[in-house]
Structure 1
Amino acid sequence: MHEKRVARAYFVELMTALLVYIVLLFAAIRYGRPMPEGWLRTLVLATPMIGFGLMIRTFVRHLARIDEYQRIRLLENIAVATAITLAVTFTYGFMETAGFEKLSMFSVWMMMGASMAAVSLYRKWADR
């Protein structure tokens, strides 16, 4: 019962933070991009980070709610996914010096998400 309540609280908080992020992202793109360069434009374009900060807060709260076993598993998955992401992005840095196209920093976030999904799925499969 406790695990379901914790999972539901995490889901509701995360979806709320994601909604805030999406609304601020669309507003920043719509209103920030056409603004003249300067500190105000920079501030407007960075406002989606408020939603991102809420997502970090949600994750930290989730870590505090889950039991020790789940916490260790989650943090191990994050550590391995981070190592994979570091290896791939570091390698690609060398490829850029060899003439490969420069990638946006957003690609690192996508790589981290893909690594986290792969590690989580692999560990779930390996534990069977």
Structure 2
Amino acid sequence: MIPFVLAVSLFLALGTGVSATCEACPNCDYESISISQGDACLNYWTCEGDTITCYYPSVANPGTFNFCSYSQPNDWPVNEGSSEFCFPYAGVNSKCEPGNDPYNVGTSACTASYGYVGEGNSGLLKRS
């Protein structure tokens, strides 16, 4: 009987917890680089109103960025950006962890007006 009560208590504790969900920029775009470099990864994002814009360094055109903008509603489809490297929808970050989570669904607001990520291959612009 005690294991059953403990199991139910644990279930209720986990089931009633508040969890956040954020809309997130995809980590890397589809621009084909090389196997050794991988794809260009998220450098920074901006958020204004109900639009999040994700910026990726361009390998094809060094010193420039590719960008993909996503807006509500309907699961945050891409509303601007090239189909060659944009994902069709913004992702979901179920823990709202930095740094690719521009929009917090729970509060219906931007987490900030911009955020720098600079991970992985996002430093490709600095290559000589």
- Scaled to the shorter chain, the TM-score interval is under 0.3
| Structure with more contact order per residue of length (Cα contacts < 8 Å, sep ≥ 6) | 2
Structure ranking higher in helix proportion: 1
Normalised TM-score (structure 1) = 0.22
Structure ranking higher in strand proportion: 2
